[in-house]
Amino acid sequence: MLQIAICDNEPLHCKELTRYVEHTVQYRQANIRTFQKSKQLLDLIHQQKYAPHIAVIEVCMPDTDGITLAKYINELLPNCQIIFFTSYLSFALDVYSANHVYFILEQQLPQRIGPAMELALSNLQKKYAQIQVQKLNSFFVISVSEIQYVERTQRKTQVITTSDLYFSGSSPSELIGACELFVRCHQSYWVNLKYVLGMENGCFHMQCGAHIPISRSYQHEARTFFFRSALITTA
């Protein structure tokens, strides 16, 4: 599932930005989180508890400024798409010291956040279209769309496709986290909704015959995106 972080020290600005972003990603499976301090976001990333695919960052943050925050994110999450915004045009050149996809003046947010998000999403789609996996001592490149589900076991990720079983040393969020087809339903499982036949008795029933458990903590999210996916498919 797509993870989007919004970082702005003003609560009202966070709410407004959330509305803009929700409008842009309304037909995609996305989780939007807001942060009023740079440190809150950075600590979660450092602790490997959160890995946003897109970060919308106010340049003028009171604790750690947005450009410094973006540099840290560039280092820790190189695929994360950074969108800067600020009220001050004087920062237009400074932001180029960090990798980013868009710079928006705050007064232009209603008009510019849509194109900025679409560019970020397009970049992510290209990055996550294919992944490298392993089987025995050989490496393969497979399409993410072929994956039915992934399971994290200890320090390895099992990748179950339509035709075979592979492994990867990367975490599930690194492999398929930005792909809107996938939803996390358990501490260890991510499923591709494209291959879900139904949901019953606390499990996703997959085309391959597997019954993937849905834990209580992920039940609401799993149900929401399963039924949304079903509605979009039948529309």
pLDDT in tens, 42-82: 999 998 888 899 999 999 888 889 999 999 999 998 889 99
Alpha-carbon distance of 117 to 56, in angstroms, equals 9
CATH code of the region 2-127: 3.40.50.2300
Q: Where does the chain hold its CATH 3.40.50.2300 domain(s)? A: 2-127
Residues 6+ apart with CB under 8 A from 112: 102, 104, 105
Which of 27-31, 40-44, 111-115 has the lowest average pLDDT? 27-31
Check residues 90 and 46 and name the one with the higher pLDDT.
Answer: 46
What's the number of CA atoms in the CB half-sphere (13 Å) around residue 210? 18
Contact 3, 154 (CB under 8 A): no
pLDDT at 220 over 80: yes
Average pLDDT over residues 152-171: 91
CATH 2.40.50.1020 is the classification of domain 130-234? yes
* Residue 163 three-state SS: coil
Which part of the chain is CATH 2.40.50.1020?
Answer: 130-234
Task: Report the percent of the chain where pLDDT is more than 90.
Answer: 51
Q: What is the pLDDT of residues 113-139, one digit of tens each?
A: 999 999 998 888 777 777 889 998 899
228 vs 206, residue with greater confidence: 206
- Residue 210's Cβ-count burial label (10 Å; 0-12, 13-18, 19+) is middle
pLDDT, tens digit (0-9, with 9 covering 90-100), for 189-216:
999 988 999 999 999 999 999 999 999 9
Yes or no: say if 104 and 85 are a contact pair by the CB < 8 Å rule.
Answer: yes
97: Cβ contacts below 8 Å, ≥ 6 apart: 67, 71
Confidence of residue 235 (pLDDT cuts 50, 70, 90): very low
